[in-house]
Amino acid sequence: MFTQPIATLRHDGGSLVVLDQAQLPWRTVEHRLATLEDVAEAISAMRVRGAPLIGCVAAFGVAVALAGEAGDDAALDHALAVLRATRPTAVNLAWALNRMDACLRPLSPATRCEAAWVEAEAIRAEDAAMCEAIGAHGLGLLRALRVREGRALRVMTHCNAGWLATAGMGTALAPVYAACAEGLEVEVFVSETRPRNQGLLTAWELAAAGIRHTLIADNAAGLLLMRGEADAVIVGADRIAANGDTANKVGTYLKALAAHAAGVPFYIAAPASTFDPRTPYGEAIPVEERTADEVLFIDGLDGEGCPRRLRLVPEGIRAVNPAFDVTPAALVSGFITERGVFGIEGLAGFLQDVQV
Protein backbone atom coordinates (compact mmCIF):
# COMPACT_ATOMS: atom_id res chain seq x y z
CA MET A 1 0.00 0.00 0.00
CA PHE A 2 1.31 3.44 -0.97
CA THR A 3 2.11 5.74 1.94
CA GLN A 4 2.00 9.47 1.33
CA PRO A 5 5.45 10.99 2.06
CA ILE A 6 3.60 13.77 3.92
CA ALA A 7 -0.08 13.38 4.77
CA THR A 8 -2.21 15.70 2.61
CA LEU A 9 -4.63 15.86 5.53
CA ARG A 10 -4.72 14.55 9.07
CA HIS A 11 -7.14 14.85 11.90
CA ASP A 12 -5.65 16.26 15.09
CA GLY A 13 -7.97 16.71 18.05
CA GLY A 14 -10.89 18.90 16.97
CA SER A 15 -9.04 20.31 13.98
CA LEU A 16 -7.62 19.28 10.66
CA VAL A 17 -4.01 19.68 9.58
CA VAL A 18 -3.34 19.93 5.84
CA LEU A 19 -0.22 20.24 3.73
CA ASP A 20 -0.42 23.83 2.42
CA GLN A 21 -0.16 23.38 -1.37
CA ALA A 22 -0.28 27.13 -1.99
CA GLN A 23 3.30 27.19 -0.66
CA LEU A 24 4.58 24.24 -2.67
CA PRO A 25 6.98 23.55 -4.31
CA TRP A 26 8.89 26.28 -2.50
CA ARG A 27 8.06 25.47 1.11
CA THR A 28 6.71 22.39 2.84
CA VAL A 29 4.40 23.81 5.49
CA GLU A 30 1.43 22.34 7.32
CA HIS A 31 -1.63 24.49 7.96
CA ARG A 32 -4.10 23.97 10.81
CA LEU A 33 -7.83 24.31 10.10
CA ALA A 34 -9.69 24.87 13.37
CA THR A 35 -12.93 26.46 12.18
CA LEU A 36 -15.43 26.13 9.34
CA GLU A 37 -14.10 29.41 7.91
CA ASP A 38 -10.52 28.04 7.96
CA VAL A 39 -11.61 24.98 6.01
CA ALA A 40 -13.60 27.01 3.46
CA GLU A 41 -10.65 29.37 2.97
CA ALA A 42 -8.22 26.46 2.51
CA ILE A 43 -10.38 24.97 -0.25
CA SER A 44 -11.16 28.21 -2.11
CA ALA A 45 -7.58 29.55 -1.85
CA MET A 46 -6.36 26.12 -3.06
CA ARG A 47 -4.21 25.36 -0.02
CA VAL A 48 -5.82 21.98 -0.62
CA ARG A 49 -6.71 21.12 -4.17
CA GLY A 50 -7.45 18.24 -6.52
CA ALA A 51 -10.97 16.88 -6.75
CA PRO A 52 -10.67 13.86 -4.40
CA LEU A 53 -8.77 15.81 -1.74
CA ILE A 54 -11.28 18.67 -1.84
CA GLY A 55 -14.05 16.13 -1.15
CA CYS A 56 -12.16 14.61 1.80
CA VAL A 57 -11.31 18.00 3.31
CA ALA A 58 -14.91 19.21 2.92
CA ALA A 59 -16.14 16.09 4.74
CA PHE A 60 -13.77 16.80 7.64
CA GLY A 61 -14.86 20.43 7.43
CA VAL A 62 -18.36 19.39 8.51
CA ALA A 63 -16.86 17.70 11.58
CA VAL A 64 -14.73 20.76 12.35
CA ALA A 65 -17.81 22.99 12.01
CA LEU A 66 -19.90 20.87 14.38
CA ALA A 67 -17.21 20.66 17.07
CA GLY A 68 -18.35 22.71 20.05
CA GLU A 69 -21.72 23.42 18.37
CA ALA A 70 -25.14 22.10 19.30
CA GLY A 71 -25.07 20.10 16.06
CA ASP A 72 -28.67 21.08 15.23
CA ASP A 73 -30.09 21.33 11.69
CA ALA A 74 -29.21 25.03 11.46
CA ALA A 75 -25.53 24.35 12.21
CA LEU A 76 -25.43 21.42 9.80
CA ASP A 77 -27.16 23.39 7.02
CA HIS A 78 -24.78 26.31 7.52
CA ALA A 79 -21.66 24.11 7.35
CA LEU A 80 -22.88 22.32 4.23
CA ALA A 81 -23.80 25.59 2.49
CA VAL A 82 -20.50 27.32 3.30
CA LEU A 83 -18.42 24.34 2.11
CA ARG A 84 -20.57 23.76 -0.99
CA ALA A 85 -19.89 27.34 -2.13
CA THR A 86 -16.09 27.03 -2.05
CA ARG A 87 -15.40 25.57 -5.52
CA PRO A 88 -17.99 24.68 -8.14
CA THR A 89 -16.43 22.29 -10.68
CA ALA A 90 -15.08 19.26 -8.78
CA VAL A 91 -18.16 17.16 -8.08
CA ASN A 92 -16.29 15.25 -5.35
CA LEU A 93 -17.01 18.22 -3.10
CA ALA A 94 -20.80 17.96 -3.50
CA TRP A 95 -20.57 14.16 -3.42
CA ALA A 96 -18.77 14.19 -0.05
CA LEU A 97 -21.10 16.81 1.42
CA ASN A 98 -24.21 14.92 0.27
CA ARG A 99 -22.81 11.80 1.90
CA MET A 100 -22.14 13.69 5.15
CA ASP A 101 -25.67 15.11 5.05
CA ALA A 102 -27.24 11.67 4.48
CA CYS A 103 -25.20 10.20 7.36
CA LEU A 104 -25.72 13.00 9.89
CA ARG A 105 -29.26 14.29 9.24
CA PRO A 106 -31.09 11.29 10.74
CA LEU A 107 -28.96 11.44 13.94
CA SER A 108 -29.71 13.37 17.10
CA PRO A 109 -27.84 16.71 17.20
CA ALA A 110 -25.73 15.64 20.20
CA THR A 111 -24.25 12.67 18.33
CA ARG A 112 -23.63 14.34 14.97
CA CYS A 113 -20.16 15.72 15.61
CA GLU A 114 -18.68 12.39 16.65
CA ALA A 115 -20.40 10.68 13.72
CA ALA A 116 -19.04 13.36 11.35
CA TRP A 117 -15.43 12.52 12.28
CA VAL A 118 -16.11 8.83 11.75
CA GLU A 119 -17.80 9.35 8.35
CA ALA A 120 -15.11 11.78 7.15
CA GLU A 121 -12.45 9.26 8.13
CA ALA A 122 -14.32 6.59 6.14
CA ILE A 123 -14.38 8.88 3.08
CA ARG A 124 -10.64 9.50 3.47
CA ALA A 125 -9.85 5.78 3.78
CA GLU A 126 -12.08 4.91 0.80
CA ASP A 127 -10.37 7.56 -1.30
CA ALA A 128 -6.96 6.06 -0.53
CA ALA A 129 -8.26 2.58 -1.43
CA MET A 130 -9.81 3.84 -4.69
CA CYS A 131 -6.50 5.43 -5.69
CA GLU A 132 -4.71 2.15 -5.01
CA ALA A 133 -7.19 0.27 -7.22
CA ILE A 134 -6.87 2.89 -9.98
CA GLY A 135 -3.11 2.37 -9.81
CA ALA A 136 -3.49 -1.40 -10.15
CA HIS A 137 -5.86 -1.16 -13.13
CA GLY A 138 -3.78 1.55 -14.80
CA LEU A 139 -0.69 -0.59 -14.34
CA GLY A 140 -2.29 -3.29 -16.52
CA LEU A 141 -2.80 -0.68 -19.21
CA LEU A 142 0.80 0.55 -18.99
CA ARG A 143 2.16 -2.99 -19.10
CA ALA A 144 0.24 -3.62 -22.33
CA LEU A 145 1.51 -0.39 -23.89
CA ARG A 146 5.08 -1.20 -22.92
CA VAL A 147 4.93 -4.69 -24.39
CA ARG A 148 4.03 -3.10 -27.73
CA GLU A 149 6.74 -0.47 -27.53
CA GLY A 150 9.50 -2.57 -25.88
CA ARG A 151 11.22 0.40 -24.24
CA ALA A 152 10.72 3.02 -21.51
CA LEU A 153 7.12 4.12 -21.47
CA ARG A 154 6.50 7.82 -21.91
CA VAL A 155 3.39 9.18 -20.25
CA MET A 156 2.22 12.76 -20.59
CA THR A 157 0.10 14.32 -17.85
CA HIS A 158 -1.39 17.71 -17.07
CA CYS A 159 -1.93 19.59 -13.79
CA ASN A 160 -1.41 17.48 -10.68
CA ALA A 161 -3.37 14.29 -10.14
CA GLY A 162 -0.80 12.65 -7.91
CA TRP A 163 -0.80 11.95 -4.17
CA LEU A 164 -1.04 15.68 -3.43
CA ALA A 165 -4.49 15.76 -5.03
CA THR A 166 -5.95 12.88 -3.00
CA ALA A 167 -5.82 11.09 0.34
CA GLY A 168 -3.85 8.28 -1.29
CA MET A 169 -1.46 7.72 -4.20
CA GLY A 170 -3.30 9.92 -6.69
CA THR A 171 -5.33 9.13 -9.78
CA ALA A 172 -3.47 9.89 -13.04
CA LEU A 173 -0.09 9.29 -11.38
CA ALA A 174 -1.22 6.14 -9.53
CA PRO A 175 -0.46 3.86 -12.52
CA VAL A 176 2.95 5.53 -12.86
CA TYR A 177 3.76 4.90 -9.19
CA ALA A 178 2.51 1.33 -9.50
CA ALA A 179 4.59 0.76 -12.66
CA CYS A 180 7.75 2.16 -11.08
CA ALA A 181 7.21 0.03 -7.96
CA GLU A 182 7.13 -2.97 -10.27
CA GLY A 183 10.36 -1.96 -11.98
CA LEU A 184 8.88 -0.74 -15.27
CA GLU A 185 10.82 2.11 -16.81
CA VAL A 186 8.57 5.16 -17.10
CA GLU A 187 9.24 8.75 -18.08
CA VAL A 188 6.61 11.43 -17.45
CA PHE A 189 6.12 14.60 -19.48
CA VAL A 190 4.76 17.15 -17.04
CA SER A 191 3.06 20.21 -18.47
CA GLU A 192 3.48 23.42 -16.53
CA THR A 193 -0.29 24.07 -16.26
CA ARG A 194 -0.50 27.81 -16.41
CA PRO A 195 -1.76 29.91 -14.76
CA ARG A 196 -1.24 28.28 -11.33
CA ASN A 197 1.48 25.90 -12.47
CA GLN A 198 0.23 22.78 -10.72
CA GLY A 199 2.60 20.88 -13.03
CA LEU A 200 5.34 22.01 -10.67
CA LEU A 201 3.60 20.02 -7.94
CA THR A 202 3.73 16.97 -10.18
CA ALA A 203 7.44 17.53 -10.89
CA TRP A 204 8.04 17.95 -7.14
CA GLU A 205 6.24 14.66 -6.40
CA LEU A 206 8.04 12.73 -9.13
CA ALA A 207 11.44 14.13 -8.18
CA ALA A 208 10.89 13.06 -4.57
CA ALA A 209 9.94 9.58 -5.77
CA GLY A 210 12.97 9.35 -8.08
CA ILE A 211 10.80 8.98 -11.19
CA ARG A 212 12.20 10.29 -14.47
CA HIS A 213 10.25 13.32 -15.67
CA THR A 214 10.58 16.32 -17.94
CA LEU A 215 8.79 19.62 -17.46
CA ILE A 216 7.34 21.14 -20.63
CA ALA A 217 5.56 24.39 -21.39
CA ASP A 218 1.87 23.72 -21.97
CA ASN A 219 2.26 24.84 -25.57
CA ALA A 220 4.91 22.18 -26.29
CA ALA A 221 2.51 19.28 -25.75
CA GLY A 222 1.08 19.34 -29.29
CA LEU A 223 4.47 19.03 -30.95
CA LEU A 224 5.63 16.22 -28.65
CA LEU A 225 2.43 14.28 -29.31
CA MET A 226 2.65 14.87 -33.05
CA ARG A 227 6.24 13.58 -33.05
CA GLY A 228 5.18 10.43 -31.19
CA GLU A 229 7.28 11.31 -28.16
CA ALA A 230 4.58 10.23 -25.69
CA ASP A 231 2.95 6.79 -25.70
CA ALA A 232 -0.12 7.81 -23.71
CA VAL A 233 -1.69 10.80 -22.01
CA ILE A 234 -3.19 10.21 -18.56
CA VAL A 235 -4.96 13.01 -16.71
CA GLY A 236 -7.32 13.26 -13.76
CA ALA A 237 -10.82 14.72 -13.72
CA ASP A 238 -12.95 17.09 -11.70
CA ARG A 239 -16.32 15.98 -13.04
CA ILE A 240 -17.36 13.38 -15.59
CA ALA A 241 -20.84 13.95 -16.99
CA ALA A 242 -23.28 11.11 -17.67
CA ASN A 243 -22.24 11.04 -21.35
CA GLY A 244 -18.50 10.89 -20.53
CA ASP A 245 -17.66 14.54 -21.25
CA THR A 246 -14.93 15.35 -18.73
CA ALA A 247 -14.02 18.57 -16.93
CA ASN A 248 -10.39 18.82 -15.88
CA LYS A 249 -7.80 21.56 -15.44
CA VAL A 250 -7.83 24.09 -18.26
CA GLY A 251 -5.51 22.92 -21.03
CA THR A 252 -6.64 19.29 -20.85
CA TYR A 253 -8.91 19.71 -23.89
CA LEU A 254 -6.02 20.89 -26.07
CA LYS A 255 -3.99 17.83 -25.08
CA ALA A 256 -6.93 15.58 -25.89
CA LEU A 257 -7.30 17.18 -29.33
CA ALA A 258 -3.59 16.85 -30.06
CA ALA A 259 -3.50 13.25 -28.79
CA HIS A 260 -6.50 12.37 -30.95
CA ALA A 261 -4.90 13.93 -34.03
CA ALA A 262 -1.65 12.06 -33.36
CA GLY A 263 -3.33 8.71 -32.58
CA VAL A 264 -1.98 8.70 -29.00
CA PRO A 265 -4.36 7.14 -26.41
CA PHE A 266 -5.84 9.67 -23.99
CA TYR A 267 -7.01 8.30 -20.63
CA ILE A 268 -8.95 9.82 -17.74
CA ALA A 269 -8.13 8.35 -14.31
CA ALA A 270 -10.80 8.99 -11.68
CA PRO A 271 -12.71 7.35 -8.84
CA ALA A 272 -16.50 6.87 -8.79
CA SER A 273 -16.88 10.04 -6.71
CA THR A 274 -15.82 12.10 -9.77
CA PHE A 275 -18.62 10.70 -11.97
CA ASP A 276 -21.79 12.77 -11.98
CA PRO A 277 -24.79 11.04 -13.56
CA ARG A 278 -26.94 14.06 -12.67
CA THR A 279 -25.02 16.28 -15.10
CA PRO A 280 -26.07 15.00 -18.53
CA TYR A 281 -23.28 16.45 -20.71
CA GLY A 282 -20.23 18.68 -20.62
CA GLU A 283 -21.93 22.01 -21.31
CA ALA A 284 -23.91 21.59 -18.09
CA ILE A 285 -20.74 21.35 -15.97
CA PRO A 286 -20.12 24.60 -14.05
CA VAL A 287 -16.67 25.91 -14.95
CA GLU A 288 -14.98 27.84 -12.16
CA GLU A 289 -13.83 31.34 -13.11
CA ARG A 290 -10.96 32.39 -10.86
CA THR A 291 -9.38 35.77 -10.34
CA ALA A 292 -7.52 37.29 -13.30
CA ASP A 293 -4.61 37.91 -10.91
CA GLU A 294 -3.64 34.25 -11.34
CA VAL A 295 -2.92 35.05 -15.00
CA LEU A 296 -1.44 38.52 -14.43
CA PHE A 297 1.01 37.51 -11.68
CA ILE A 298 3.43 34.62 -11.23
CA ASP A 299 5.01 33.10 -8.14
CA GLY A 300 8.63 31.99 -7.89
CA LEU A 301 11.85 32.38 -5.92
CA ASP A 302 14.05 35.46 -6.07
CA GLY A 303 17.87 35.39 -6.28
CA GLU A 304 18.06 34.86 -2.50
CA GLY A 305 15.69 31.90 -2.66
CA CYS A 306 12.75 33.80 -1.11
CA PRO A 307 9.25 33.23 -2.51
CA ARG A 308 8.07 36.28 -4.49
CA ARG A 309 5.07 37.23 -6.61
CA LEU A 310 5.84 39.09 -9.84
CA ARG A 311 3.48 41.05 -12.07
CA LEU A 312 3.82 39.62 -15.60
CA VAL A 313 2.10 42.35 -17.62
CA PRO A 314 1.65 46.12 -17.39
CA GLU A 315 -1.32 47.51 -15.42
CA GLY A 316 -4.55 47.78 -17.39
CA ILE A 317 -4.31 44.55 -19.38
CA ARG A 318 -7.44 42.47 -18.98
CA ALA A 319 -7.33 38.70 -18.45
CA VAL A 320 -9.90 35.97 -17.93
CA ASN A 321 -9.19 32.83 -16.00
CA PRO A 322 -11.44 29.80 -16.58
CA ALA A 323 -9.91 27.17 -14.30
CA PHE A 324 -11.22 24.12 -16.18
CA ASP A 325 -12.18 22.99 -19.64
CA VAL A 326 -14.32 20.14 -20.89
CA THR A 327 -13.00 17.33 -23.06
CA PRO A 328 -15.72 15.70 -25.18
CA ALA A 329 -16.18 11.98 -24.52
CA ALA A 330 -15.33 11.24 -28.16
CA LEU A 331 -11.71 12.23 -27.47
CA VAL A 332 -11.35 9.91 -24.44
CA SER A 333 -9.81 6.50 -25.17
CA GLY A 334 -10.77 5.10 -21.78
CA PHE A 335 -11.57 5.74 -18.13
CA ILE A 336 -9.25 4.24 -15.52
CA THR A 337 -11.34 3.68 -12.40
CA GLU A 338 -11.19 1.63 -9.20
CA ARG A 339 -13.40 -0.96 -10.95
CA GLY A 340 -11.28 -1.30 -14.05
CA VAL A 341 -10.59 0.39 -17.38
CA PHE A 342 -13.44 0.90 -19.84
CA GLY A 343 -14.30 2.92 -22.91
CA ILE A 344 -17.36 5.09 -23.41
CA GLU A 345 -19.45 1.97 -24.09
CA GLY A 346 -18.78 0.79 -20.52
CA LEU A 347 -19.79 4.05 -18.85
CA ALA A 348 -23.53 3.35 -18.38
CA GLY A 349 -22.77 -0.03 -16.76
CA PHE A 350 -20.18 1.54 -14.44
CA LEU A 351 -22.63 4.25 -13.35
CA GLN A 352 -25.28 1.62 -12.67
CA ASP A 353 -22.86 -0.50 -10.62
CA VAL A 354 -21.49 2.28 -8.44
CA GLN A 355 -24.76 4.28 -8.13
CA VAL A 356 -23.07 7.58 -7.35
Nearer to ligand MRU among residue 33 and residue 115 (C-beta) = 33
Catalytic residue from among 238, 245, 276, 325: 238
Consecutive H or E run containing 272: none
Say how many Å lie between the first and final Cα of the chain, rounded: 25
Among 51, 139, 259, 329, binds ligand MRU (CB under 6 A): 51
d(CA 306, CA 19): 19
Among 50, 71, 199, 251, binds ligand MRU (CB under 6 A): 50
Q: Are 268 and 347 in contact (CB under 8 A)?
A: no
- Contact between 249 and ligand MRU by CB under 6 A: the answer reads yes
d(CA 63, CA 255): 39
Q: Are 167 and 8 in contact (CB under 8 A)?
A: yes
Q: Are 267 and 233 in contact (CB under 8 A)?
A: yes
What is the size of the binding site for ligand MRU (CB under 6 A)? 19
- Contact between 171 and ligand MRU by CB under 6 A: the answer reads yes
- Contact between 4 and ligand MRU by CB under 6 A: the answer reads no
Is the previous residue joined to 195 through a cis bond, with omega within 30 degrees of 0?
Answer: yes
Sign of the Cα pseudo-torsion (70, 76, 81, 82, in order): positive
Q: Is 353 a catalytic residue?
A: no
Nearest of 331, 337, 159 to residue 248 by alpha carbon = 159
Q: Supply the minimum distance, in Å, between the C-beta of residue 92 and ligand MRU.
A: 8
Residue window 85-114: x/- pattern of binding to ligand MRU, with contact defined by CB under 6 A: -----x------------------------
Nearer to ligand MRU among residue 76 and residue 258 (C-beta) = 258
Among 88, 236, 251, 282, binds ligand MRU (CB under 6 A): 236
- Contact between 238 and ligand MRU by CB under 6 A: the answer reads yes
Residue ranges that bind ligand MRU, judged by CB under 6 A: 49-52, 90, 159, 161, 165-166, 170-171, 198, 235-238, 248-249, 323
Please give the positions annotated as active site.
238
